Chain A
């Protein structure tokens, strides 16, 4: 029975992945929802949908796609076309709902006025500014009073073009006007951290305008701005954005080699006979797929190889002159004759990531099925055997959706490569302390700084293993906490002689009189066993002494992934406060008047010391 239930749930989840059959979802939505709600450990969220049109279909589909991502939404839905009024007049029902996320479902139909024929450019510009003022007042009020993450549709194009192709070039053309507004929305998104665009201009092009709007009855009879087919596409896209906000995007792409990254079999054909490059139609397809993968790697997706090949042969493939991908792009490399599930497990261990962070791409359906069966946590998209569709399939299921790309993302491959150097270095020492000392580690530990808030939010929502409470915060909540003197906040960056590990630890504590309760303490697994937690604790004690805090309460909430920190508070000298209740363990530490630092091998850098002393370190961020 258990395996039947698992199979059914697997079928349900597959129904919501590429290739999505819209008819199946429409027919079976109630059954799908019922099965998806049986999942355990669903993350709860509150989403307010503010519509400029009927939102029932969008809400229904969004619920399914969010459940498929392990997120259970509670919804608030504004009255028909009441999105502005609900916010401007602070509808008590919306305010009491206290959403984590506000999704603003407006479309071209909600543009208050298009330019008149032959309207002067200066008047068109005024029109743009008025439209922006209308939306910005909505966004600012949500940011200021609700603190929610905003997901805002940009605009799709109107169905008809009275001016024909002039619509695109003339400033009074409707198409031109929509594109200008979209550019303004994009600019706002770039400059505000709790604001994300749902790109319906792209989606409508992807779906096709006829399918996007569907029959005219959807608008005239039901005031649905989109057809049910388009609602499926839109909901899928919004769910991908929400998923990334909750840290559920994948981290690692594991790739086969032969007939996946190049045409041919390297062991048989040799590098000179591989099909790769612009001289051959199929070679160009593989080249474009390599380019796609390289672009993922550039913005922080970890790459790994899992290939049935001799290792030396496999590596040689990357010396092909047309190969865009190079050996150094990969943070793990398993080329041998072992079963692929075994190799993928080894990759996860080596990279210190969960199996559920991995996407596996292989042209061979037998290998795909075997991995999917043996490692159900690994995402194994059905890419088929034609490499020209691989990128499309990966794109469609938005495995690697991100809220932002931050500098730490660009350096991710380098971190993993330098980790390999550290591991090699460790092998030369018989005493672990001597090894740690040899690393010449320095740490920057300070209260939250505006420049790091995005990375802090990212880490909070991605870290599972060294995480005492697995509490998640939206970017809006992180910004609010950073500004609130009722909180103690610390971030930690760690560098050593091999390189900069980046921002790797976060701590949030809420102050009640002379006590601070640690609601969050996490650390990236890439710096485990370096005593970074001692360095963080030393600074926490400093902060407590400076603020007159006498007691620290540590909370440990066990999860499936964080058993490694079960003894964390005990190791720091905390005392257990008794039996666990509601799945939480409470630990207590009395802050001593004098304290000897625990850190033995990490030196705090001057930058952090200066930042900690600066009055600006606890001030509001420069925007939002």
Chain B
């Protein structure tokens, strides 16, 4: 998955218009970043063959940190 694809996916998970997230956003400032979206993130990473745990997510501050955790290609668009 590319960086742009990941960001679009995060837009969907957080019910944001496509193209909203750029990666620098702080998770604590995102209104819809709650347990449901966290579970969805874990489940989607699992379907992509990547195991992430809540404690790992707990170390993330920004969307870009999640991107790194999900082992997404870091090449910007």
Contact = CB atoms under 8 A, between A and B. Distances in A.
Interface of A: 22-23, 26-28, 30-31, 56-57, 60, 214-215, 217-218, 221-222, 224, 227-229
A22 B35 CA distance: 18
A612 B30 CA distance: 67
Interface in B12-61: 12-13, 15, 35-36, 39-40, 42-44, 46-47, 51, 53-54
Given A215-B51, A215-B53, A221-B54, A27 B35 contact: no
Given A215-B53, A217-B53, A221-B54, A27 B44 contact: yes
B4 interface: no
A349 B21 CA distance: 54
Contact of A22 (B12, B36, B47, B51): B47
Contacts of B40: 26-27, 228
B9 interface: yes
Given A215-B53, A221-B54, A229 B35 contact: no
A31 B13 CA distance: 10
B36 A229 contact: no
User: Which label, helix, strand, loop or mixed, suits the secondary structure of the A interface?
Assistant: helix
Nearest to B43: A228
A395 to B, nearest CB: 23
Contact of B54 (A214, A217, A227): A217
B35 A214 contact: no
A60 B47 contact: no
Nearest to B48: A23
Contacts of B42: 215, 217-218
A224 B9 CA distance: 23
A222 B40 CA distance: 12
A221 B38 CA distance: 11
Contacts of B46: 214-215
Contacts of B15: 30-31
B6 to A, nearest CB: 11
A218 B53 CA distance: 9
B35 A222 contact: yes
A271 B36 CA distance: 58
Nearest to B9: A27
Nearest to A221: B54
A57 B42 CA distance: 13
A26 B12 CA distance: 9
A229 B51 CA distance: 15
16 contacts: A22-B47, A23-B44, A23-B47, A27-B12, A27-B40, A27-B44, A28-B12, A30-B12, A56-B36, A214-B46, A215-B46, A215-B53, A217-B42, A221-B53, A222-B54, A227-B43
A215 B15 CA distance: 25
Given A22-B47, A27-B40, A217-B54, 16 more contacts: A23-B44, A23-B47, A26-B43, A27-B9, A27-B44, A56-B35, A57-B36, A215-B42, A215-B53, A221-B53, A221-B54, A222-B35, A224-B39, A227-B43, A228-B39, A228-B40
A214 B12 contact: no
Most chain A CB within a 10 A radius of its CB, from B39, B44, B47, B54: B39
Contacts of B51: 215
B53 A57 contact: no
A78 B66 CA distance: 32
Contacts of B53: 215, 217, 221
A443 B43 CA distance: 59
Contacts of B13: 26-27
